[in-house]
Amino acid sequence: MAAAFAALVSLQNNLRLIRNHPNHTFSFEEEQIQPLWGRVSFLIDFLKSYNYSHGAIRETTESLELRIARAAQEAEDVIEGHIVDQIRCGKTRSSRFLLDLHKVSEKLHYMRRKALNAFFLLLIAPSGMLEQSTYPSSSSSSTQSTPLLTSSMVGFDDILLQLLHLLARGPLSRRVIPIEGMGGIGKTTLAINAFHHPYIVQHFDVCLWATISQEYSIHKILAQLLSCLRRSTSGTFDEMRERLYKSLFGLRYLIVLDDMWNLKVWDDMNVKSLFPDTNNGSRVVVTTRLADVAYHLGDNGYGIAMSFLDEANSWHLFCQNAFAKQQVCPPELEETARKIVARCKGLPLAIVVVGGHLRKSPTALAYWENVAQSILYSTGNDEQCLNVLSLSYRYLPVHLKPCFLLLGAFPEDEEIFAQDVVKLWIAEGLIQHIDDFRLEDVAVYYLFDLFMRNLILVDKWDYKGAITTFKVHDIVREMCLQTAKEVQFLSVFETAGAIIREHRVVISGEAKHETISSDAPACCLISSRGRYSIHNPHDLKWLRTLSKVVTTLTSELIFQQVNLRYLNLNLVYIPHPVLYYLPSSISLLWNLQILTIIVPDQSKVIAPYGIWEMLQLRQIEVDPICLIDPLPVDQANEMVMRNLYKLLKVENFRLSEVVCKRIPNVRELRLSYCGKVSLYYCPRNLGCLHQLDYLALQFDGNTNWREFATSLTFPSSLRVLRLSGCCGVDWEELTMMVGSLPHLEMLLLFRNSVIGSVWTPVEGKFCHLKTLIIDGCGDLVCWNADNSHFPVLENLNLRDLSKLIEFPSGIGEIATLKSIDLRFCSASSTLSAMRTLLEQLELGNESLRLNVYFRGDEETMESFKNDVREEGLTSSSNLSLRLFSSK
């Protein structure tokens, strides 16, 4: 379904643009586009609404999905192939093109009829067939009403004790306790061990278990619960509900609802009418892969979030499953066995599955070494584990499936930047247009949804609460790649094998462009580790994503790939500074949305005037790039880049009135200024960018930039401001310039951005500032600040302030302050900051943390330690003190 949905959405996006392209008129008639649009829209809606996981019908549907994907891809190939011919050669519609377009349109019409037939087949399917396939085999309870104790809780003793405490202690009112985590993490095992624990069995009058799963039946859930009570499971829904309620009334009960996938089942069960609350300490445990389900069901913070096993417990669990009774690894196998365990990355299910496989396997070292090499990449060792995890994919909403599968394009065991993922999703046409929402905002929501489903592991969040970086567990990634290959969505080449028929290609090893056939239908080519060299590429007329490839020059041929939507180039290092001139042919890229170029040090990219006519551009990330002034915007020239929201990093950018009109919706802007100083750059017009959210300004340190900097007018929309090198601006001027901005949350002041020895903030300024970084403003001696000057500050970072005499104690009184970082500041300011922390701790402020990084030789470090002892500054868990030697 992922490949079909992705192909249809991408085709729909192209049809929308063909109809309304701002600077190209394509030779398509409305009577050709309208039928195509209707058929594509119908099939998209069909895939969204159709639940394909119904037993015998599933096989038919999966075959249909593959045919839909091929038909949509073929239609897009025909359309984009014609666009290439028209843009390059000025060709109008040929009889061959019209015939091909008619053929693909008819194929999609045929697919529409087949989809309708499949839908009607579902409607008339016997209920028994549907019910039989509703529950995965792992959740069937036909032969037993309660689960058996199948695995010990290695590594989870503390969590088990925590769960037992929540079950047996606390309020007498009925409580719901969610257990959440990714598939295979041990949620059900934890619930089983608690369910059968002697203390729990004795504490509760009755213990009931029901498995829910993605496709649930309230009737079956009631039957499972009633069977635990040895009550009749026959009758209508209302009869069964009344029977359960009366059976539980007055009893202290424990009910486990295992594997809940959404809140709808909770509402459908009408819990109050099922589970009486007689104020006797009854409990309901819910296991779920979805964080939002756990959040909504948890009472007053009740709940348990499962995490991975550490190295020691992973090894213990493996030995328990791999070595039968002795549970001890033979010395000759230990080194290889530990490699195997490390590959499981702390996921209990993977450890149990692999251990169980090896338990029945030969103990020859060669065999174990082969398993270590092939683990998670073979079809036997990990089948059970991948089958369990694949449920998370199977029940994803259809719009998330292709997005999830494309995560396989990123390297294993590496931090993934959310922005890179968002760019790739947009370029591949996986994000549907939603009125009043930018594609980037929709994509960010999709990524957060994957996090809430425990399919990605977030490392960092940004100041707006969005994901910055994340990782994908190795086993989840393997499931992703395996599924992507099965549905012909993504192909990964470890070596430079010939690429002939693949549409989306990831190259993870060394390769050159000769490995790609000149007539290959590749539409997406990604070098996951940036080692794919491309200098004179073949004419890949359907190529729309070219990411992380290496080249020595801005080749004219690269910019003749007319259908490119995403271009990410790495210009390799050259020993001397170079000016790279983008060719004028770049303006022929009718649908280019993201342009990213990594430039060697001291070099820069010069863009042609035509870049102002590329109205589909959403992000320009070139460090640095020089832009020629555009022509004025008037009735005859309406080239406004309304989609452009990120522009990085423009050198000596002239903020003329014309430029500001050309980029009215830009949100992130990073500019650098150097050389001759001039008000020609129009600093006052910056305030015309009413959507600007993030602004970074870097100057070359020339004090003559003072007049330019103090003339800047900042838009009221600004939330983040980063300044560097604008010598000449003092602290009072800075306060007047930006202190009154109504939405400013982050202020980052880097080396030489502000001069002056005294900063006395003004009350009523910086009312919304949450993060303040002062780094390298070495003139600062006295900072007269208190809680009235930064009333909502949360994070303060001071670095390289060697002249600062004292840390302002009033800062510690800010109620919202969470952390203070002092890096390589003066000893006196560091000591005063430590005193401030201790004062706050004595006042009961346990949430404040102080991190100190002190630099010096052995003598200065010992002197500082003596000062700490003389001050009587005792250690605290809220204080982190790190000393670095200057040697």
Q: DSSP of 268-290, one letter per residue?
A: HHTHHHHS---SS--EEEEEES-
438-490 pLDDT, tens digit per residue, is 999 999 999 998 887 767 888 888 878 889 999 887 778 888 888 888 888 88
Other CB atoms within a 10 A radius of the CB of residue 273 amount to 12
For the chain, give the percent of residues with pLDDT over 90: 30
Which sign does the torsion angle of CA 412, 413, 414, 418 carry? positive
Residue whose tokens read 């119904």: 54
Other CB atoms within a 10 A radius of the CB of residue 40 amount to 27
Residue 95 has pLDDT above 90, yes or no: no
Per-chain mean pLDDT for the chain = 82
In sequence order, what are the residues at sequence separation of 6 or more whose Cβ sits closer than 8 angstroms to the Cβ of residue 312?
Answer: 155
**Of 347 and 783, which is predicted with more confidence?**
783
**Of 227 and 555, which is predicted with more confidence?**
227
How far apart are the C-alpha atoms of 496 and 498, rounded to whole Å?
7
- Are the CB atoms for 620 and 648 separated by under 8 Å? yes
Residue 138 has pLDDT above 50, yes or no: no
According to DSSP, the residues that pair with 189 across neighbouring strands are: none
CA of 47: how far to CAs of 6, 50, 56, 407, in Å?
11, 5, 18, 21
Bridge pairing between strands 819-823 and 849-856: parallel
For the chain, give the percent of residues with pLDDT over 70: 84
Omega prior to 114 cis, within 30 of 0: no
345-367 pLDDT, tens digit per residue, is 788 877 776 776 677 677 788 87
* pLDDT score of 140: 32
In sequence order, what are the residues at sequence separation of 6 or more whose Cβ sits closer than 8 angstroms to the Cβ of residue 681?
Answer: 652, 653, 654, 655, 673, 708
* pLDDT score of 149: 44
- Are the CB atoms for 308 and 346 separated by under 8 Å? yes
Q: Dig out the tokens for 703 from the structure.
A: 């004090």
How far apart are the C-alpha atoms of 337 and 325, rounded to whole Å?
17
Identify the band that residue 400 occupies on the pLDDT scale cut at 50, 70 and 90: very high
* pLDDT score of 135: 28
Other CB atoms within a 10 A radius of the CB of residue 663 amount to 24
* pLDDT score of 379: 38
284-329 pLDDT, tens digit per residue, is 999 998 888 888 888 765 788 888 888 888 888 888 878 866 678 8
How far apart are the C-alpha atoms of 522 and 384, rounded to whole Å?
33
Residue 149 has phi, psi (to 5 degrees) of -75, 105
Query: For residue 781, which of 733, 730, 729, 829 has the smallest C-alpha distance?
Result: 829
Query: For residue 340, which of 360, 357, 362 has the smallest C-alpha distance?
Result: 357
How far apart are the C-alpha atoms of 123 and 127, rounded to whole Å?
10
Rounded to an integer, the average pLDDT of 632-652 is 82
Q: What is the CA radius of gyration of the chain?
A: 31
Element (H, E) at 662: helix 657-662
Query: For residue 421, which of 391, 451, 395, 389 has the smallest C-alpha distance?
Result: 451
* pLDDT score of 706: 84
CA of 535: how far to CAs of 46, 504, 549, 552, 568, in Å?
43, 20, 10, 7, 14
How far apart are the C-alpha atoms of 772 and 795, rounded to whole Å?
6
- Are the CB atoms for 688 and 633 separated by under 8 Å? no
Identify the band that residue 133 occupies on the pLDDT scale cut at 50, 70 and 90: very low
- Are the CB atoms for 742 and 719 separated by under 8 Å? no
601-622 pLDDT, tens digit per residue, is 888 999 998 899 899 999 999 9
Q: Dig out the tokens for 692 from the structure.
A: 């600007």
Residue by residue, what is the 3-state secondary structure of 117-180?
Answer: HHHHHHHHCCHHHHHHHHCCHHHCCCCCCCCCCCCCCCCCHHHHHHHHHHHHCCCCCCEEEEEE
DSSP 281: -
480-526 pLDDT, tens digit per residue, is 888 888 888 888 876 555 666 777 888 876 665 555 666 667 788 88
* pLDDT score of 539: 67
Rounded to an integer, the average pLDDT of 861-876 is 75
CA of 655: how far to CAs of 679, 683, 687, in Å?
10, 6, 10
What number of CA atoms fall less than 13 Å from residue 313's CA on the CB side? Answer: 15
- Are the CB atoms for 355 and 321 separated by under 8 Å? yes
Q: Dig out the tokens for 68 from the structure.
A: 């839909």
Predicted structure pTM score: 0.75
* pLDDT score of 150: 43
How far apart are the C-alpha atoms of 502 and 489, rounded to whole Å?
9
- Are the CB atoms for 699 and 726 separated by under 8 Å? yes
How far apart are the C-alpha atoms of 131 and 861, rounded to whole Å?
72
* pLDDT score of 187: 87
159-197 pLDDT, tens digit per residue, is 888 888 889 888 888 999 999 988 778 888 888 888 988
How far apart are the C-alpha atoms of 734 and 693, rounded to whole Å?
19
What number of CA atoms fall less than 13 Å from residue 39's CA on the CB side? Answer: 22
Describe the crossing of helices 383-394 and 474-486 by its angle, rounded to 10 degrees: 70
Greatest alpha-carbon pair distance for the chain in Å reads: 92
Element (H, E) at 547: strand 545-551
In sequence order, what are the residues at sequence separation of 6 or more whose Cβ sits closer than 8 angstroms to the Cβ of residue 625?
Answer: 597, 604, 605, 606, 607, 649, 650, 651
How far apart are the C-alpha atoms of 710 and 707, rounded to whole Å?
5
